[in-house]
Amino acid sequence: MNFSRVIYNKFLSSWMRISITVIILIPFAIGIALLLKSLPIIRSDSIFNLVGSGKWAPSEGKFGFRPYILSSVYVTLFSFLFAAPVSFLSAIYLTQFARGRLIKLVYPVIDILAGIPSVIYGVWGVLVIVPFISGFVAPVFNTSSSGFTILAGGIVLAVMCIPYMLNMLLEVLKTVPTGLKEATLSLGATNWETTKHVVLRNCFSGVVSSFGLGITKAFGETLAVMMVVGNTVHISFNPLQSGYPLPALIANNYGEMLSIPLYDSALMFAALLLMTIILVINLFFRFLMYRAVNQ
């Protein structure tokens, strides 16, 4: 080998090695940085107290995250209730019933829906969902509501989650061997029976993990939810009340966090909490998913 080739090889291979190392170190860097920043508040109060207490008064030094965590969970639950059936049924239609032409049409639609920025979903939610809830849904239940509610957050989040879940469901359903499906059909089963008894049994864990990953997506979404959910704390389980999810708490208070002691630490703790919850769920379901897809 001549000299310049050796130099090139050395240079480019170290570039590749450094790049991959940097990327693999990113999650650890994020974790450590957020942990260091939230140490002051963890020292001042126990983690159980922080997560379990419901009192939020930064000026008195009281930081209780329970209402925000509950709010997040609640909004996520609602979005799951709407998104899961829609994406599940669509995935089945696209893999079992649909003709090639529809598939060619739907694929770009899913991609575009996944690519629309969350602020656009927020604008859509403010223009459509919020008036819909205050004008139609609330009167049906004989209450009045501003429309900026947990329910609105759930609906907007559901629309955002559908393309994400659907993409993964399609990938999972694709792994069912065609021969297996054809064998079932040739025994006289209908398409739906094939789906119910063969396809679902074959990739049950993959379907569950797609749902799980969809949940983490909803749990961490910030701007769109923040725009429609009202951002006030109510400890009640009425979906027509406003809520205040964890990401919205971080995003709304960054302006004043440097002026009150421990406030910035509390918000960084919130970010750490969010990341930990999401990463744990994510790693778990991704693992199931990998086993389902590469079995």
Partner 1 sequence: MRKRKNIEEKFFKSLSGLTTYSLIGILLFIIAVVFYKGFNALSFEMIFKPPEGGYYYGGEGGVLNAIAGSVYIAFGATLIAVFIGIPAALFINIYLNRMKKVQNLFRYLLDALWGIPSIVYGAFGFTLMLFMGLNASLLAGIITVSILITPIVVRTFDDVLCNIPKGLIEASFALGSTKTETAFKILIKQGFSGFITALLLSFGRGIGDAASVLFTAGYTDLIPRNLDEPAATLPLAIFFQLSSPIPVVRERAYAAATVLTIIILSISLVARYISGRNTFSNIK
Site residues (CB under 8 A) for partner 1, limited to 85-144? 85-86, 89-90, 92-95, 97-98, 100, 102-113, 115-124, 126-128
Of 13, 232, 259, 295, the residue at the interface with partner 1 (CB under 8 A) is 13
The yes or no reply on residue 267 touching partner 1 (CB under 8 A) is yes
Q: State the binding string over 30-59 for partner 1 (x if CB under 8 A, else -).
A: x--xx-xx----------------------
Nearest alpha-carbon partner for 224 in 156, 163, 283, 175: 156
The yes or no reply on residue 8 touching partner 1 (CB under 8 A) is yes
| Sequence-separated (6 or more) residues with CB below 8 Å from residue 29 | none
Burial 78-96 (b: 16+ CB within 10 A, else e): bbbebbbeebbebbbebbe
Query: What are the start-end ranges of the H helices in the chain?
Result: 3-44, 47-52, 66-92, 100-115, 118-124, 130-132, 138-140, 150-174, 178-186, 191-194, 200-202, 204-220, 223-228, 246-253, 263-293
Per CB under 8 A, which of residues 142..181 are in contact with partner 1? 159, 162-163, 166, 170, 174
The yes or no reply on residue 278 touching partner 1 (CB under 8 A) is yes
The yes or no reply on residue 12 touching partner 1 (CB under 8 A) is yes
The yes or no reply on residue 261 touching partner 1 (CB under 8 A) is no
Closer CB to partner 1, residue 60 or residue 255? Answer: 255
Of 2, 3, 4, 26, the residue at the interface with partner 1 (CB under 8 A) is 26
Closer CB to partner 1, residue 85 or residue 141? Answer: 85
Of 73, 77, 185, 223, the residue at the interface with partner 1 (CB under 8 A) is 223
Minimum separation from the CB atom of position 3 to partner 1 (A): 13
Backbone dihedral region of 241: left (phi > 0), alpha (psi from -120 to 50 degrees) or beta? beta
